[in-house]
Structure 1
Amino acid sequence: MELRPDDRQPNGTYEKKVRWLGAGYAGPVLVRAARIDAPGAAGATFSYVGEERDGGHYAYLIRENNDLPARTTVAGPGCYAYQVDGATFSVTVVFRAVASAG
């Protein structure tokens, strides 16, 4: 994830738009984010559905194919992970946030 100066929020965190695509699944989903290389906050929020719950963002997906705009917030450059839990799966996605050169 490239962190640009325009992504920096007044509180010092960075916020990026992230598009989540889901295929072949309808039902509950909980997305959590965390920094895994050092102390620091992270979060993930769907833009138009769901609510904060259980340390993450919860939504009930009614279609088996979903295109969900979302936002990810990170404390700054570093290593992070999403944990995505549904009724029939649990997936961890690790990603790196890096500061852009310009």
Structure 2
Amino acid sequence: MSDERFKPTAKMAANAKKGLELRAKFHRGGTEVGFHRAEQLARQDELGEEDIKSMHSYFARHAVDKEGKSHEWGSDENPSAGYIAWLLWGGDEGKAWADRYAAKLA
């Protein structure tokens, strides 16, 4: 296992902050793990290999959430819980980032 560290991007931080704001406003979306991840991303804390693997796994499992019919994906007025959770993990930019690093770590 590597002790290499990876710094999240500003866009990932912005997505996480938006997710935290929507979660607070609508009282839905994300688990405690997702909440903690969002706090890390919002601060742009450097993440380790296990964090990358966790993010990659989250996005692989939750891409299906985009198909949900309860509330709206991408809405700031009536966001789905899945959309909020997706933002907590860094949004589409977080997925691309995690996928890119996970491929290098494999």
Fold shared, TM-score > 0.5 on shorter chain:
no
| TM-score after normalising by structure 1 | 0.32
Structure number having the greater helix percentage: 2
| TM-score after normalising by structure 2 | 0.31
